[in-house]
């Protein structure tokens, strides 16, 4: 049972209602409903919170509860299953069929929400961006834009800076920045937050977290899947806008940011913004030397033959399914340190990781004894298995009559093992709870989004000017060979 202490003056109150748009969609069934159930089962949301789902599907309350029950049966992880908690969770649910393209129909929300004028409401938009404008207009007509209402926005938020500004302007007309929560689910992952703990909770790392000690940084987000039912969205968007513009640039910002004054929404996001604004533009002059694009052809992934992108799509396309970039953060801390970013579909395995390559020691005292030193490396694995691995040099056992032998050995922290008594959470659990409670720390601010789009738009302009066509690569490989050359020109090898 949750205790509800009397709030302090000016404190943000937890929402008493959660209005969930796109409640019958794929994201809701795979992530949102299981996440909300987990919060319910652990008593992390107040008993009075009601969840009102809405979508075009013509369902009543009972029909939506059946959809939710099926979603829990299909997608809930074994360690989150609690059959005794399911009836109580389903009782929280209500449903309103609604055509989000018709703002005048939003008055139907008033009775199911059933809240007093000043009770806090959280709204979660998991809808197509084309419906954002009409949805905001409908919410305003229904009076759901007051100071007690905050709104969460699921990506994509536009396809470039201009279209993003149109969406953000429409949202800002009803919800000021402090009540707008832009969602990047990567920021809800435990290991991403552990990156902040690693840097700012341990004295040993921060003095070395700069160009003096770090040679380069690699960020890889690889997928084994192809289109997987995302044909209508993915083609024309591509890897740069789908993954780099949001997830990967947010990871880069967390790696490169200065220490914030405190772990709070303004401090953390201010420091991320400084990094994003310090990114050296990749423009028409440098796009050929600093970027590589690819598109998967037929091949084999995990021992299974898979078709090429064009075969899956059913038509010709120049959409990139792979992109590799060489980026620089132009400030004192990172002067001269390249950041290599790589993401793609139909790659050999699925993982997201940050790889930090430290510089060599300035002088080896073991050279005369025949020992070979390797630079230290830090590997932060975000998924599928969350772990932190530091590779250090250690002496092999022995009497050293033929010289000292040193070997690279790992210092491993498996978060799964170290915190074996803790359930591994879906990132959306944290983000939904933060939206309900009104904590914006792990959400993306508008000026961050615009800085990201400005950098991405310059790359796409360079591609258009140079008539860049994605290079083919066989499914099940690490992209086109040009991606290897991108790093090897600098004497660097991708960490696979």
Residue set of the binding site for NADP(+)? 56, 155
CA 40/CA 33 separation, integer angstroms:
10
CB 97 within 8 A of CB 37: no
Choose among 78, 80, 98, 101: nearest CA to 37. Answer: 80
- Please count the residues of the chain: 496
Q: Report the half-sphere exposure of 355 (CA within 13 A, side-chain side).
A: 18
Q: Which DSSP helix (H) or strand (E) runs through 414?
A: strand 406-414
Give me Rg for the CA atoms of the chain: 24
CB 428 within 8 A of CB 32: yes
CB 393 within 8 A of CB 407: yes
Q: Which of these is catalytic: 247, 290, 328, 351?
A: 247
For residue 259, the tally of other CB atoms under 10 A from its CB is 12
Give bridge partners of residue 181 from the DSSP assignment.
152
CA 36/CA 64 separation, integer angstroms:
15
CB 374 within 8 A of CB 344: no
CA 41/CA 87 separation, integer angstroms:
10
Instruction: State whether residue 84 is helix, strand or coil.
Output: helix
CA 480/CA 100 separation, integer angstroms:
42
- Binding site as annotated, residues for substrate: 185, 189, 223, 242, 345
Phi-psi map region of 171: left, alpha, beta (phi>0 left; psi -120 to 50 alpha)? alpha
- Binding site as annotated, residues: 56, 155, 185, 189, 223, 242, 345
Pairing relation of β-strands 50-55 and 17-21?
parallel
Phi-psi map region of 409: left, alpha, beta (phi>0 left; psi -120 to 50 alpha)? beta
Q: Which two tokens stand for residue 116?
A: 């007093």
CA 22/CA 151 separation, integer angstroms:
14
Q: Is 495 a catalytic residue?
A: no
DSSP code at position 329 = B
For the chain, count helices (H), then strands (E): 18, 17
CB 243 within 8 A of CB 249: no
Choose among 171, 121, 126: nearest CA to 150. Answer: 121
Q: Which residues are catalytic?
A: 247
């Amino acid at each position: 049972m949750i205790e509800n202490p009397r709030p302090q003056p000016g404190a943000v109150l937890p929402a008493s209602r959660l209005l969930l748009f796109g409640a019958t969609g794929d994201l809701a069934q795979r992530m949102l409903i299981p996440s909300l159930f987990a919060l319910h089962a652990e008593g992390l949301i107040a008993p009075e919170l009601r969840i009102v789902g809405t979508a075009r599907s013509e369902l009543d309350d009972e029909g939506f509860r059946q959809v939710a029950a099926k979603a829990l049966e299909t997608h809930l992880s074994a360690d989150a299953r609690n059959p005794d908690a399911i009836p109580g969770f389903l009782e929280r649910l209500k449903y309103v069929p609604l055509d989000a393209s018709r703002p005048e129909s939003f008055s139907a929300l008033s009775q199911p929400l059933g809240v007093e004028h000043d009770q806090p409401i959280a709204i979660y938009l998991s809808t197509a961006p084309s419906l954002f404008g009409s949805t905001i207009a409908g919410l305003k007509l229904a009076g759901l834009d007051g100071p007690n209402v905050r709104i969460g926005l699921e990506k994509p938020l536009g396809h470039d800076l201009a279209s993003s500004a149109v969406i953000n302007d429409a949202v800002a007309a009803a919800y000021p920045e402090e009540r707008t929560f832009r969602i990047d689910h990567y920021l809800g992952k435990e290991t991403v937050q552990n990156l902040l703990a690693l840097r700012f909770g341990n004295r040993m790392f921060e003095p070395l977290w700069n160009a003096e000690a770090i040679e380069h940084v690699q960020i890889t987000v690889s997928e084994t899947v192809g289109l997987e039912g995302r044909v209508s969205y993915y083609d024309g968007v591509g890897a740069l806008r789908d993954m780099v513009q949001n997830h990967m640039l947010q990871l880069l910002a967390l790696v490169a940011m200065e220490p914030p004054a405190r772990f709070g929404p303004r401090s953390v996001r201010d420091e991320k913004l400084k990094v994003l604004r310090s990114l050296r533009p990749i423009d028409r002059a440098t796009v050929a030397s600093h970027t590589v694009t690819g598109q998967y052809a037929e091949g084999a992934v995990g021992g299974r033959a898979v078709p090429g992108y064009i075969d899956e799509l059913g038509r010709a396309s120049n959409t990139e399914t792979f992109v590799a970039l060489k980026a620089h953060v132009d400030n004192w801390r990172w002067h001269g340190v390249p950041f290599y970013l790589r993401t793609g579909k139909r790659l050999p395995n699925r993982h997201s990781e940050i790889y930090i390559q430290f510089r060599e020691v300035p002088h080896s005292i073991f050279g005369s004894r025949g020992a070979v030193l390797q630079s230290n490396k830090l590997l932060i694995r975000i998924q599928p298995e969350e772990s932190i691995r530091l590779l250090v040099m250690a002496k092999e056992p022995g009497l050293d009559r033929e010289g000292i032998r040193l070997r690279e050995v790992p210092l491993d922290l498996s978060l799964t093992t170290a915190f074996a008594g803790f359930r591994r959470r879906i990132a959306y659990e944290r983000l939904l709870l933060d939206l309900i409670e009104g904590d914006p720390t792990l959400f993306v601010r508008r000026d961050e989004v615009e800085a990201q789009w400005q950098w991405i738009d310059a790359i796409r302009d360079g591609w258009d000017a140079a008539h860049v066509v994605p290079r083919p690569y066989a499914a099940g490989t690490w992209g086109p060979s040009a991606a290897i050359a991108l790093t090897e020109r600098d004497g660097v090898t991708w960490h696979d």
